[in-house]
Amino acid sequence: MNQDVHASNASSANFRDALLKIFFFCLLLFSGCTLSAQTNIRIRGVVTDSKNLPLANATVHVKATNTGVTTDSSGAFAIDVPHAGTVLVASYIGFQAMEITVGKKTYLTIQLGSSNNSLSDVVVVGYGTQKRASLTASVSSIKGEEIAAQPVADISNSIGGRVAGVIATQGNGEPGNDGSRILIRGTSTIGNTQPLAVVDGIPRNYTQLDPNSIASISILKDAAAVAPYGMGGANGVILITTKKGKTGAPALTYNTYAGLQNPTTLTKFVNSYQYATLFNAADDNEGAPHAYSDDDLQKFKDHSDPDGHPDHNVLKELISPNTLIMSHSLSLSGGSEKIRYYAGVGFLSQNGAWGPTKYKRYNLVANLDADVTKTTRVSMSLNGRVEDRHFPGRSTSSSFGDLSIFNQAFRTPPIAPLTFSNGLWGGYIGRSAYGNIYHSGYNQTTGYTLLNQFSIEQQLPFIKGLSVKGVVSYDFNPFNPGDPYNPSAGITSFNRSWLTPIPYYSYDPATNTYPLAGTDGPAKPTYSVSYNQSQGFTYQGYLNYHNSFGRHDISGLMVLEIRSTKSSIFGAARGNYNVSVPELNNGSSNSTDISNYGYSAESKQKSAVYRVTYGYNGKYLFEASGRYDGNYFFAPQHRFGFFPAFSAGWRLSEENFIKNKAPWISNLKIRGSYG
């Protein structure tokens, strides 16, 4: 019995020992796991500007890694770092990036300073970039943020007043057709005065790009700046650069605005009483009887008979007040050290002054940059948009003479029945101002644009600073074939115009009825369609060099470029429709009521571009640039032209006699150019 008890106690002790060993082993294992999981350090903090205002969407990432976060609306962030001594990099657009080494503190207040040293800014120039301090040509730049902040649909309307030497004249306020005419340093020719527009290195229409996708706009103004574009740059050059991805955590950005549009001012007109009084005064001067009796004058004055004695401010009543303009933009950007991306979609809607007038635009942009090796970079970009324009059948253009809506608005006197109290509309001497807008049919235009680009750049390690790059682009509708040399002309892929008879009515006070008084416009409906298309093919080969030797800084550029374009226009029309169904096969079959037209065009260009720059000690700057241009514009016997330019600059602010006696002068430069 005792033996059994002893054996039982021994077994229990062994079992307890085994359990204790398992427990301590699990505890040790758990502690190890906990210790391993707690190796990372959680760092919290806030990112502010120099005035301690929080910076939302600032990037904080671990240096040389893909680990990163963005700050919230209050500038706060939280990030895990592997250990003390880790370097964090905080950055924000328009501010100097800051590196912070993690120590004992787990809460950081990071204050970023503004990037106000514009001398170190990189400026986009023809076929490349240069530091602002080393420029010897006349180049002005606008930041993309300034463009996006303007509540306008057409980018050309954001340039005026922001750059010295640039004149912007807006001759039309119609949505979708309200681009400004840009002049750089005045009118330089009696022919085409429009500057050349270049988007991401390729000549393209730029005015309807999504402004939120633009990184910068550079304006090239003097001979040295435009020489790389040869004859094409004779009126100046506008360079647009779209946004690229940056290293850091993914950042999702949403921008929107909505506004109400009203005319800045309207022409003041006399009212009906004043009009009738002045008309009677004119009768007195001619010795004729008064056209309006005292009873007429009183009714015009007290508005007791609105249909028989109307009083209209025609222009003001035709214009819709507080029309809406609205924009939405959503973008995603980020990337690692090797791959960076930027993608965005945009939508804009703008209503016009007249009820049927409206414009809608849909934008899509995607840019990808990949460092496939330490010396090889590949870039791809896609930029597309769809534009819808909707207008009345009658145009606002003055080229249509008395058929123009504006002409009707100004010629119709206040005593004419613009509209009646029952909703019908009247006329004046065979025309109806109200009917021209709301009952004349429609004019609809749809534009499709797709800009595609691929490039590969290879650093050549056997010569420091030497690289080669190849660029290929295919663009669908990069310009309007109906106005190919106007960079602000709207893209028109498909147009439909349906013009209808415009009935108008009168008022019979005897029967208190509103009989049909006549019709304006065509006797029967007419319908026309047109198809426009353009294509651009561009091939570029770059050879770049840049290096510094002590106080000497040398750079060189050589570009071989081949560009060709194709365009075609086709249209057809029919008249005398007996049914109100706007299709070509529903119109009259009479040969006199049928018309069509069409034409096509091609252009080719072969060029060699060069630029050589030299700087000594950051003070004395020299540049030679130019283009050997083979262009279809030239006469057959003289297809090639040479367009050289030379420039030099002297940075006086870097001389000791300026630094010592006038330290408040940060940048003083004398420069000159000839080309």
Q: What is the pLDDT of residue 37?
A: 40
Question: Is residue 635 very low, low, confident or very high in pLDDT (cuts 50, 70, 90)?
Answer: confident
Task: Output the 3-class SS for 570-603.
Answer: EEEEECCCCCCCCCHHHCCCCHHHEEEEEEEEEE
Higher pLDDT, 193 or 219: 219
pLDDT classification of 3: cutoffs 50, 70, 90:
very low
Cβ neighbours for 31, distance < 8 A, ≥ 6 positions apart:
none
Q: Which residues pair with 384 in a beta bridge?
A: 364, 450
Best CA proximity match to 482, nearest among 471, 493, 474, 472: 493
Q: β-pairing, 640-651 with 669-674?
A: antiparallel
The region of weakest confidence among 30-34, 104-108, 432-436 is: 30-34
Q: How confident is the model at residue 116 (pLDDT cuts 50, 70, 90)?
A: low
- Please give the pLDDT value at position 329: 96
Shortest CA distance to 55 belongs to which of 13, 98, 19? 98
Q: Closest by alpha carbon to 452, among 571, 393, 366, 580? A: 366
> Of 118-127, 293-302, 442-451, 583-592, which range is least confident?
118-127
How far apart (Å, rounded) are the C-alpha atoms in residues 192 and 30? 79
Residue identified by tokens 């029919």 is 574
The tokens describing 10, both together, are 């021994």
Q: Are 547 and 476 in contact (CB under 8 A)?
A: no
pLDDT digits (tens, 9 = 90+) for 332-359: 999 988 999 999 999 999 999 888 999 9
Say what the pLDDT of residue 155 is.
Answer: 92
Strands 196-199 and 237-242, how do they pair? parallel
Per-residue confidence at 483, pLDDT binned at 50, 70, 90? confident
What CA–CA distances, in Å, run from 306 to 292, 422, 431? 16, 11, 20
Q: List, as own/partner pairs, every contact residues 457-466 make where C-beta atoms lie below 8 angstroms and the sequence separation is at least 24, other chains included.
A: 457/376, 457/377, 457/378, 457/379, 457/542, 458/375, 458/376, 459/375, 459/376, 460/375, 461/375, 463/545, 464/547, 465/545, 465/546, 465/547, 466/543, 466/544, 466/545
Question: Per residue, what are the HEC states of 224-276?
Answer: HHHHHHHHHHCCCEEEEEECCCCCEEEEEEEEEEEEEECCCCCCCCCCHHHHH
Query: Which residue, 70, 233, 40, is CA-closest to 138?
Result: 233
Token digits for 596? 């069509």
Q: Comparing 35-39, 156-160, 193-197, 230-234, which segment has the lowest mean pLDDT?
A: 35-39
CA–CA dist 593, 573 (Å, integer)? 8
Average pLDDT for the chain: 88
Would you say 538 and 200 are in contact if contact means Cβ atoms under 8 Å apart? no
Return the closest-CA partner of residue 139 out of 522, 498, 572, 671: 671
Q: Residue type at 349?
A: S
* Percentages (nearest 5) of helix, strand, coil residues in the chain: 20, 45, 35
Three-state SS annotation for 369-419:
EEECCCCEEEEEEEEEEEEEEEEECCCCCHHHHHHCHHHHHHHCCCCCCCE
Nearest one of 530, 517, 655, 667 to 598, comparing CA atoms: 530
Side by side, which strands form the sheet with 196-199?
A: 139-143, 214-220, 237-242, 196-199, 202-203
- Name the residue among 587, 588, 633, 629 with its Cα closest to residue 609: 629
- What is the C-alpha separation between 573 and 584, in angstroms, rounded? 7
Residues in the chain: 675
Task: Give the whole-angstrom CA distance, residue 47 versus residue 59.
Answer: 9
Domains of the chain, residue spans: 41-111, 118-248, 272-312
Question: 115: pLDDT confidence band, cut at 50, 70 and 90?
Answer: low
- The tokens for 527 are 């319908």
**Whether pLDDT at 268 is above 80:** yes
When pLDDT is averaged across residues 598-623 and rounded to a whole number, the result is: 94
Lookup: tokens for 142: 């606008």
Residue 234 makes CB contacts below 8 A (sequence gap 6+) with 188, 189, 226
- The CATH class for the domain spanning 41-111 reads mainly beta
Residue 471: which pLDDT band, with cuts at 50, 70 and 90?
A: very high
User: Above 60 in pLDDT, residue 669?
Assistant: yes
Residue 11: pLDDT above 70? no
**C-alpha distance from residue 567 to each of 193, 532, 602 (Å):** 22, 8, 6
pLDDT score at 397: 61
The pLDDT of residue 467 is above 70? yes
User: Would the pLDDT of 528 be above 90?
Assistant: yes
State residue 402's pLDDT score: 60
Distance of CA 623 to the CA centre of its chain: 32
Q: Which of 594, 610, 601 is nearest to 561 (CA)?
A: 610
pTM for the model stands at: 0.79
3-class DSSP state of 613: strand
DSSP symbols for 77-97: EEEEESSTTPEEEEE-TTB--
Q: What pLDDT is attached to residue 474?
A: 97
* DSSP 8-state symbol, 126: T
Q: What residues form DSSP beta bridges with 342?
A: 333, 367
pLDDT in the model for residue 400 = 53
- Count CA atoms within 13 Å of residue 2 on its CB side: 0
Identify the pLDDT of residue 8: 40
- Which one, of 229, 542, 175, 103, lies nearest residue 392 by Cα? 175
Whether the Cβ atoms of residue 126 and residue 229 lie closer than 8 Å to each other: yes
CATH assignment, 118-248:
2.170.130.10
